[in-house]
Amino acid sequence: MIGIDEAGRGAWAGSFIAAGVRFRTYPQSIVKKLADSKALTSYKRQVLADKLLNFSEIDIAYAEIKAIHIDQYGLTWAQIQAMKRVARQLKPSLKEEIIVDGSINYLKSDYPSARAIVKADQIYPSVMAASILAKVKRDQSMVNLAQIYPNYGFDRHKGYGTLFHREALKNFGALKKIHRFSYKPIAKLTKF
C-alpha cells in the first residue's frame, strides 16, 4: 500500500509539498510511534523522519510545487500535480492500493485503486509517514528561506498567516516567487 499526504496547502508563502510512502516491510519500532504530523512536536517529527529515511525497506517520493506555480495555475492544480508526481515515482501496480489523506481523490483518473480518506494520516502508517516526511521537508525549506530573508521569520511560522508574518508583510512587502499572491490575505496586505 502507498500512503500520500501533503504539507503547506494553507500557507501564504513557500512551496506545497507532497510525499508518498510504501513500506515493503513494517518496522514495528517505528510504526508504533507514528502519528499525524500535526500531533507531533517538530523534534519528534524530525526524529521519526530520520528513522524513516534510514529504514532500508521503504520507498519514499516527494513532489514540490513552487508558490509561483500555485499562483499561476491554482492550488487544486498544485495538489493534483504533486500527488500524481509522487504516485508516478513510486510506480504502483494496477492493483496496489493508494490511500490519499483528504476528502478528494485527485488520483482516481490515473490510479483506479486510489482512495481518499479523511484523517487517513491518523489511521494508516504509510500515510502517517508521508505526513511526517512532507511536513519535515517543507519546514526545512522554510528554515532555509529564513536564512535568506531573515526579516520574515519563516523559520518561526513556516509561511502561515501568523501575526508576525502579517507584520513582516506590512513592513517589508511580499516576496516574488516566495509569497502566494493569489491568496486573498497576501493580495489584501500587499495591495495587489
pTM passes above 0.85 = yes
Given a cut of 70, whether residue 155 has pLDDT beyond it is: yes
Between the alpha carbon of residue 35 and those of residues 21, 40, 81, 126, the distances in Å are: 14, 7, 25, 10
Calculate the average pLDDT of the chain.
95
pLDDT at 187: 86
Question: Would you tell me how many other CB atoms lie within 10 Å of the CB of residue 51?
Answer: 17
From the list 14, 64, 6, the residue with the least C-alpha distance to 178 is 14
Packing angle, helices 125-148 and 42-54, rounded to 10: 110
